[in-house]
Structure 1
Amino acid sequence: MKHLMIAAGILSATSAMAADTPQLTVYTYDSFVSDWGPGPKVEEAFEAQCDCDLNLVGVEDGAALLSRVRLEGANSDADVVLGLDTNLIAAAKETGLFAPSSVRAEYDLPIEWADDVFVPYDWGYFAFVHNADAPAPASFRDLADSEAKIIIQDPRSSTPGLGLLLWVKAAYGDDAPEIWAGLADNIVTVTKGWSEAYGLFLDGEADMVLSYTTSPAYHLIAEEDDSKAAAAFDEGHYMQVEVAAKLAGTDQPELSDQFLRFMVSDTFQQIIPTTNWMYPAVIPSTGLPDGFDALITPEKSLLFSADEAASVRDEALTEWLGALSQ
């Protein structure tokens, strides 16, 4: 009987401790929480200093992330959303669901950062990745004229997919429909998110996949494989800056702010290059890993401001859908 009473007491104490441990729920994209993504290391590092439980919830991709938060509204379980980008900032702010942040940092971004709601944590350039021993197009026109089969992501659910639309629009303006008409028969499939698209490419389902100039670094560093490359396009490459923000309805505002501050810390930023395979928003004390110096550097950077991206998004989407429906 004594043993039963002692056991019951231990269980009761353990339950009480668990109940007293605050939980921070962060919505992010699937690849972030994967075994090979930043999630496991981020969770371990943050929990070591927060005395909390970090609950990372994966959603297909960045654009789908915003759709889920919109759907849940003020009743969302999320405290922080990590994985939107500058192309979605204006739409995210329109929801009224996000709260201002006091986080400031010495960012190593190609652009000035002054947003008072969203905190950047990494950035990169979109690119088409291919097998290094295969010929690569040097522009969208070259790609459209080639026999290359490509896989892209849906701009309605994926931030790379939306980035591609804005890349074509930024490079070609009113001629964007012509470019899409030329590319339509190169497209093998359109996936909901990046992970599925890249997996299909690695399985040999296409010659090229929409990804990032930094993607070959994964193969080079993690696999010691130099067989993948990113095609350099003459018209330039569109940038992506990924961001996070806390929700106004969070019941953990202080813990949310702590996580956002952690996100721009040396500890977090050291994790990013070799797990999320992007450039860190703040160069860590260790610098960039060997292998990043072998990546292509676009000669021209393209990027719409958050407001510009919002204003051209619907037109660009209509042009894309029109070309693919022919």
Structure 2
Amino acid sequence: MRFAIPTLLLATSPALAQEPPVLNVYTYDSFVSEWGPGPAIEEAYEARCACDLQFTAAGDGAALLSRLQLEGTRTDADVVVGLDTNLMAEAQETSLFAPSGVEGVDWDLPIEWDSEIFVPFDWGYFAFVHRADFDAPSSFRALGDSDASIVIQDPRSSTPGLGLLLWVKEAYGDEAPAIWEGLSDNIVTVTPGWSEAYNLFLEGEADMVLSYTTSPAYHRIGEGDDGYAAAKFDEGHYLQVEVAAAIEGSDQVDLARDFLSFLATDEAQSVLPTTNWMYPAKMPEAGLPDGFDTLIEPEKTLLVPIDKTPETIDAALDEWRAALSR
């Protein structure tokens, strides 16, 4: 004999009514795309946390910080994934972020890492990607003197765009305005983010696009296409380390810190090379996929010291605006 349980009791039973905690993660658009790392990381972490991981896409990395600055302490974010070394100093000045609690990780990065707030999850070098049969320039000066057309991203909304700005500034110093003046005729358009720029390049709208030295690995591994390459520049290449951080005012700060620890695990790091197409911040036990060994390796790593980035960005932005407005 079956017993009918009153609907009211089911609805009000504390054990049945309890919802899993929600962890709201702000990130950039491509991270949560169907081909990005977001879906796999969400599935893996939810299996571990008994929580509901929800991603909120907020444009590109620089736009992500702008949104956080606008929302301030009213933000719904518990975690932010997708800021980088060029934005860390400005982000820290907001006082929105909590210590990560992540300690004792032996990071596989080109630089020493000692931040108590920001946790690295991947890294790469900026580069201009082109089709393999294109005779690409090998320096900014040569690019400016050439007829090559390029698509770049806006440094005010995009972390690659900001990386290019600091790449030119770090490589050329006071000569940066002249470099930008030389490049101005090569620029087809400036897009808000990386995805828009790369799609224009794939559609044949430009000879080269600002991306990463690792981008050809996507075509080689993901599409079986060896027809793309990254131009190796004589000046060296600018480094980007992407980072995640917990929000100080979050009501899920312990869960947020657990998620940051999860990002450093082999389970999460092994996802990144073939979804975000970047180098993992902590090398997985399986190493890198076949195809990464064919990528160019910069002769010189360029990076503005993190504590100097805000003032360097202000000066470089003025130079960039002036050159492109002529």
Classify the TM-score, shorter chain.
Answer: over 0.9
SS in 1 for 2:98: coil
Task: Please give the residue correspondences for 1:43-122 in structure 2 after superposition, counting only pairs within 5 Å.
Answer: 43-104=42-103, 105-122=105-122
Partners of 1:10 and 1:63 lie apart in 2 by 49
What CA deviation, in whole Å up to 9, does each residue of 1:75-129 have, x standing for no partner? 1000000100011001001111111112021100000000111000000000000
Residue 239 of structure 1: SS of its match in structure 2?
strand
* Matched residue SS, 1:271: coil
- Mapped to 1, the partners of 2:73 and 2:18 lie a distance apart of 24
User: Hey, what does 1:193 align to over in structure 2?
Assistant: 193
Measure the CA separation in 2 of the matches of 1:116 and 1:305. Answer: 17
Q: Decide whether aligned partners of structure 1 residues 284 and 13 sit closer, same or farther in structure 2, where only a CA change above 3 A counts.
A: farther
- Measure the CA separation in 1 of the matches of 2:126 and 2:89: 20
- Secondary structure, aligned partner of 1:314: helix
Cα distance 1:11–1:218, how it changes in 2: closer, same or farther (>3 A)? farther
Q: Which of 10-19 and 124-133 deviates more? A: 10-19
Aligned residue number for residue 136 of structure 1 = 136
- The RMSD of aligned alpha carbons is 1.7
Distance 1:18 1:284 in 2: 39
- Corresponding residue for residue 281 of structure 1: 281
Per-residue deviation at 1:14?
9.8
* Regions of 4+ moved over 3 Å: 5-11, 13-19
Structure 1 unaligned runs (5+)? none
In 1, distance between residues paired with 2:240 and 2:108? 14
Q: Give the drift of 1:15.
A: 10
Q: Is the Cα–Cα contact under 8 Å of residues 11 and 17 in structure 2 kept in the other structure?
A: no
Maintained 8 Å contact 2:10/2:16: no
Partner residue in 2 for 1:153? 153
Q: Which secondary structure does the structure 2 equivalent of 1:235 belong to? A: coil
1:182 aligns to 2:169 (yes or no): no
Pick closer, same or farther for the CA change 1:273–1:18 going to 2, 3 Å: farther
In 1, Cα distance between equivalents of 2:31 and 2:9: 36
Aligned equivalents of 1:119, 1:151: Cα separation in 2? 30
Q: TM-score of the superposition, structure 1-length normalised?
A: 0.96
Displacement after TM superposition at 1:187 (Å): 0.4
Tell me how many residue pairs correspond in the alignment: 324
For structure 2, list consecutive stretches of 5 or more residues without a partner in the other structure.
Answer: none
Identity of aligned residues (%): 65
For the residues of structure 1 that align with 2:303 and 2:233, how far apart are their CA atoms? 15
| Residues 180-229 of structure 1: CA deviation (Å, up to 9, x unaligned) | 00000100000010011101111111110000000000000000000110
